[in-house]
Chains A and B, each alone.
Chain A
Amino acid sequence: MSGNGKAPMVAVEGVKKVYRRDAEEVKVLDGLSLEVPEGDFVALMGPSGSGKTTLLNLIAGIDRPTAGKVVVAGTDVAQLGESELARWRSRNVGFIFQFYNLIPVLTAEENVALPLLLTSLSKKERRERALTALKVVGLAERSQHYPRQLSGGQEQRVAIARAIVADPKVLVADEPTGDLDSKSAEEILALMETLNRDFGKTIVMVTHDPRAAQRAHTQHHLEKGVLSL
């Protein structure tokens, strides 16, 4: 339980993650525990290879722990089958990538509406929601533009719109400003603050950038798979 008595949005308990390379075992996370309260904005920092992205992937439900428990939004994600996990991700987690990873053949609006294809919404409803998400990130007027017609900062804002369009409880961001100039990075961080403050999104962000980390409420440092505050 978190300090306010409510169950934390993210609860990682004694998680181990071991990768196997041929006969060699590489221990990435070693009994790590972490709690992120609902509505928190957490930054995970640490050197390369410290396990930040691995932890983020476990929280996002795109990887499974070797041992331990990862409970997100009340669901132990390690207990879900592949199909259930995919369905769970579509409803509970919005993922923001370092390199935006928009689909180049789709317009901004179509990219944003992509996760809504998994819902029972009509085409009109999907379009309306995508436009609303684009409005939130300030890009409604660029809805018909393709990714190649957008700047890096705009692409990342479209990616954020895609992450929030299904109204997930948790946003996970892997180096969201890592590929941006300082001005664009500042805009993205401001947008994430807004999503956290005004829309109540719980955000877990991996970053190398201390300035970005300062925008989070809580900072965690990872060193060789172990947390150090």
Chain B
Amino acid sequence: MKYLPYVLKHLRRNWIRTGSTVMAMAVCIFLFCTLQTIIAAVNYGLKSASASRLVTRHSVSLVYNMPLAYKERIAQIPGVKRVAISNWFGGVMGLPPDFTKFFANFAVEPEDYLAIYPEYVLSDAEKQAFFADRRGAIVGPELAKRFGWSVGSTVQLESTIPPYRIGRPFEFVISGIYQVDEVRYPGTDGRLFFFHHKYLEESTRNRAGAGTFSIEVNDPERAAAVGKAIDAYFENSDVRTKTETEAAFRAGFVSLAGNLALLLNGIGIAVTFTILLVTANTMSMAVRERRTEIAVLKTLGFGSELVMALILVEALILGVMGGGLGLVLGKAMIGVLPSLPLIGDVARAFPNLGLSPLIAATGFGIAVFLGLAAGLLPALQAYRARITDTLRTV
């Protein structure tokens, strides 16, 4: 500890260089945390996808809805066990809308939807209460906890989607709080809000249509064939469909199809490696400038190991500062992501978006590693530097 003031004084010596190095590291960790959080959020969603479920949507885009009558036709296709309509409502609380309180909310056909999605566990009484009340809604336990809701609480939501805007907010009454069974159904999102599709239809005077059809198939191994059959059925219709497995739908929903993890990790590795080179160069410059001082320290009796340790501690402090700042920036960015224009729409599809302790710890670890790795070579040079050679060449 007695050497710490000495190390800190050196870091303050060229504060612009120290500051820019810390910022470079912070940007690296910020990117890492943000990208990894997005990957984790996507994976979290995909983890809960069932192999026996398909999702049918408009072939052009999710923006367009399909006729409600498609439900009966899909239900008649061989292999289809059950069909439920589900619409992304995009409702936000508050006037004007407060996007910091955003959560995912869907208009669904309660009986069929809950039969297809057994992971949303409700007691029979709660189910019956939900089915019976047209304004009823069920919510996840985390969402209920976040807003302090209980059964009977009233909630007002106004949609951001034009066809669902009726000049006033929709009013809901909480009928039940579904439970999450992470053992049987890992990855189940406990922050969702479901309400009656009929309520949406009636309030919008039947303008709602069907955003997606959630389909349960009899045989998971025939899911792909059933999906093709559905799309083939509507091939010559005005509104053609696109049917995918639930996992493919969730990945495609955010237009992040393809190997998302590889792409984002590739970006992360490239940035990290670049920052490593920049930091290593900065550290080398800082140590090269101090060659005389290193020789003087050794002359005064500072052992080579101690000199090396002082430089490594300096690099470590840069890493800790960069990592800390990067985490703060990353957490702030992930927090505001859902309220940003354009990208916020995508981010809001992942209600579980949040900087996890594991990602934060990994990010911080990378920063510490970067600092130490960048400082290692200059520290070794200082360790090996012979006093007489160094003093002779200055």
- With A101-B296, A115-B300 as known contacts, state yes or no: A83 contacts B305, CB within 8 Å: yes
Q: Is B162 an interface residue, CB under 8 A from the partner?
A: no
Q: Is A106 an interface residue, CB under 8 A from the partner?
A: yes
Q: Is B233 an interface residue, CB under 8 A from the partner?
A: no
Q: Is the CB of B6 within 8 A of A97?
A: no
Partner of B388 from A57, A117, A118 at Cβ < 8 Å? A57
Q: Is the CB of A95 within 8 A of B293?
A: no
Q: Is the CB of A90 within 8 A of B300?
A: yes
Chain B 368-392 near chain A by CB (<8 Å), digits 1 or 0: 0000000000000000000110010
Instruction: Name which residue of chain A comes closest to B299, CB basis.
Output: A95
Return chain B residues, CB-CB under 8 Å to A89: 299-301
Q: Is A215 an interface residue, CB under 8 A from the partner?
A: no
Instruction: Name which residue of chain B comes closest to A118, CB basis.
Output: B301
Which stretch, B8-16, B245-253, B349-357, touches the partner chain A? B8-16
Instruction: Name which residue of chain A comes closest to B298, CB basis.
Output: A86
- With A63-B388, A97-B296, A117-B3 as known contacts, state yes or no: A105 contacts B10, CB within 8 Å: yes
Q: Is A103 an interface residue, CB under 8 A from the partner?
A: yes
Q: Is A91 an interface residue, CB under 8 A from the partner?
A: yes
Return chain B residues, CB-CB under 8 Å to A110: 6, 9
How many contacts A-B (CB < 8 Å)? 61
Return chain A residues, CB-CB under 8 Å to B300: 89-90, 95, 114-115, 118, 162
Partner of A90 from B293, B301, B387 at Cβ < 8 Å? B301
Instruction: Name which residue of chain A comes closest to B9, CB basis.
Output: A105
Q: Is the CB of B301 within 8 A of A115?
A: yes
- With A86-B303, A105-B13 as known contacts, state yes or no: A123 contacts B2, CB within 8 Å: yes
Q: Is A82 an interface residue, CB under 8 A from the partner?
A: yes
Instruction: Name which residue of chain A comes closest to B14, CB basis.
Output: A105
Q: Given A86-B304, A101-B292, A114-B300, list of 10 further CB < 8 A pairs?
A: A57-B388, A63-B387, A63-B388, A87-B301, A87-B303, A90-B300, A101-B293, A105-B10, A117-B6, A118-B301
Binding site for A on B (CB under 8 A): 2-3, 6, 9-10, 12-13, 292-293, 295-305, 387-388, 391
